[in-house]
Structure 1
Amino acid sequence: MNIRFVDVAVGNVWSSPEKPRDLDAPSLSRPADIKGWLSRLDGEEKGRIDLVGRLETQVLYGEPVWVVGERDGWAEVRIPEQFSYKDESGYPGWMPLRQLTFHPDYHQAWQTEPLAYVTAPFTRLRLEGNEAEQPVGFMSKLPWLGEVDGEAIVLTPRGVVGRLPAEHITVARTLPTAGGEIRVATAERFLGLPYLWGGTSSFGFDCSGLMYRIFESAGIRIPRDAGDQARFGKRVPKEDLRPGDLVFFAYDEGKGEIHHVGMYVGDGSFLHSPRTGHPVRINRLSEENYAREFCLARRYEGSETF
């Protein structure tokens, strides 16, 4: 396996090179036009719905992937930071090779330097020698080199120095663990964001992708998918729920396969990214559909070994 780093704001990870449609083309370029892609999806009746079975997950600018194979301009990858029972080395899928890069200085810095974690929903990155800016989303992280005049100096995947507004980042090698109330407050910043199947970025989340990034921002590593998220952490009774706990829902009136996850926010309510056409919102656990399909709750208070 060869390590590479994501060189676009958001990299879509597909189930195979044949799965992207013509309307997905803006997301396959470098730089990737994610806003343009989402606009095209919304212009088609089944644009977002038909991502099911096509889009597996997403990776953010600067994140590492393992390349395990190549075919016709595509890389077969594993995402080591996204735990999944699908593959022990990381979440599996395919990405365009053009969206990946490698520079030895970045590789070294990624392993040893503090990281600048983007904690704003979005910020702008300006590369050295280039006045143009590019969007960088929530929980993107780049090696931090210092701060000058209110700007964080970072290293980008191609080995070029860039600048970010210092007010939009947190500098740490590993983010400190944050409690449930802080996780809830962070999640509430995304209320109203449209659902995106496979989404793990502030351009759009699916249910487990939202939980994955919120917990990452709180210094807690959890698996990528809802079914895997339900296997770890401490199981807690429904009557003992605390803000920041994960609540899970399953088919067959809560007895079948887990298909959904949200975050308990208190007062019998939970925050979640429901499904296509239904943006991030807060619902009550007592509502008929959720009461019928609720199956269990988990509490993560620190990162676990998977």
Structure 2
Amino acid sequence: MKLVAAKVPVSTVWTSPDAPRDIDAPAIAEQPDVAAWAKAMDTETRLGLHGRTLTQLLFAEPVLVRSERDGWSEIVAPWQPSSQDALGYPGWVPSSHLGELPGSASAPVAIAVPTASLLAEPGAGAAVAELSFGTVLASVEHVDGYTRVATPDGGSGWLSEDVLRSVEQPSGAEDRLRLGALFLGLEYLWGGTSAYGLDCSGLIHTVSRVLGVRIPRDAHDQADMLENIPVDEAQPGDLYFFARPDKPIHHVGFVSPEGMLHASETGKKLEDAALTDDRRSTLVTAARL
């Protein structure tokens, strides 16, 4: 195995090289346009992602490559813990989406706004790339309100400091709810962990990443790893988990003063609302981050 990094802003992870459909071409292009891909899909097309997509990698995220064939790489994502593999979340991505790990640096920072422009020089010129919320980068230096960050393939770029948050900065429940609320109205995307679409556990995982907390990618693994608490003791910023009788956990959301902040399901949008009767009937446990 070799350790590399995602060198595109968002790389979607697939169940196999044969999983993408014709409509998914923008997502697997050498320079993927995930925003256009998400915008082009209606509810039926999004439902077709079930069994095809698994998760997403963000720019500079480390990746272990297990094998390669026909322009695709079989990978595991160490930053996304999973019960499927002790090394990280498994799947397949186009090999063109992968490059060398960024150079060594310190003081990791995360993009804490929906999207941010990576610039070649501080405050100057067109964007080199548009990076997603949740992207974590190693900072190199700070100049006049901009931070230089290490990028894959030995490069670097600049980000405005007002879009960044140190992942080492302490955080609390209000931070989780504030960051989650940035995506109210965003359409649910199966396997999504980026500003262009989130699924229920993707929301929890990605917000936690910005706050410097590494938790599993999937809801059932999150429930298994985190400190479970009685449902009636849950406070805003904690997590609610849902399951049907004798079935594994299938849904998760942030407890909020209104009820729950969550990415509901395909065909719906991220919302902060009171729990429905169906949700209440399947609420099985809560957890504290």
Question: What is the TM-score with the length of structure 2 in the denominator?
Answer: 0.94
Q: Could you tell me which residue of structure 1 aligns to residue 80 of structure 2? A: 82
Q: Could you tell me which residue of structure 1 aligns to residue 172 of structure 2? A: 179
Q: Could you tell me which residue of structure 1 aligns to residue 194 of structure 2? A: 201
Shift of 1:128: 5.3
Shift of 1:277: 1.5
AA aligned to 2:120 is L
Q: Could you tell me which residue of structure 1 aligns to residue 283 of structure 2? A: 294
Shift of 1:188: 1.3
- Write out per-residue CA displacement over residues 29-50 of structure 1, whole angstroms, 9 at most, x where no aligned residue: 23211112112223xx521110
Q: Could you tell me which residue of structure 2 aligns to residue 263 of structure 1? A: 254
Alignment length (residue pairs): 287
Q: Could you tell me which residue of structure 2 aligns to residue 304 of structure 1? A: none
Q: Could you tell me which residue of structure 2 aligns to residue 141 of structure 1? A: 136
Contact 1:3 1:64 in 2 (8 A): yes
2:97 to 83, 96, 99: 99
Partner Cα separation in structure 2 for residue 125 and residue 153 of structure 1:
9
After superposition, the CA RMSD in angstroms is 1.7
AA aligned to 2:49 is L
AA aligned to 1:10 is V
SS in 2 for 1:158: helix
Q: Could you tell me which residue of structure 2 aligns to residue 303 of structure 1? A: none
Q: Could you tell me which residue of structure 2 aligns to residue 159 of structure 1? A: 154
Partner Cα separation in structure 2 for residue 233 and residue 64 of structure 1:
23
Partner Cα separation in structure 1 for residue 177 and residue 165 of structure 2:
18
Shift of 1:119: 1.1
Identity %: 38
SS in 1 for 2:213: coil
Q: Could you tell me which residue of structure 2 aligns to residue 279 of structure 1? A: 269
- Write out per-residue CA displacement over residues 39-98 of structure 1, whole angstroms, 9 at most, x where no aligned residue: 2223xx521110000000001001000000001110000000100000111000000000
Shift of 1:293: 0.8
Partner Cα separation in structure 1 for residue 25 and residue 251 of structure 2:
29
Q: Which runs of 5+ in 1 are unaligned?
A: 301-306
AA aligned to 2:286 is A
Contact 2:189 2:198 in 1 (8 A): yes
Partner Cα separation in structure 2 for residue 183 and residue 118 of structure 1:
14
Q: Could you tell me which residue of structure 1 aligns to residue 145 of structure 2? A: 150
Q: Could you tell me which residue of structure 2 aligns to residue 5 of structure 1? A: 5
SS in 2 for 1:195: coil
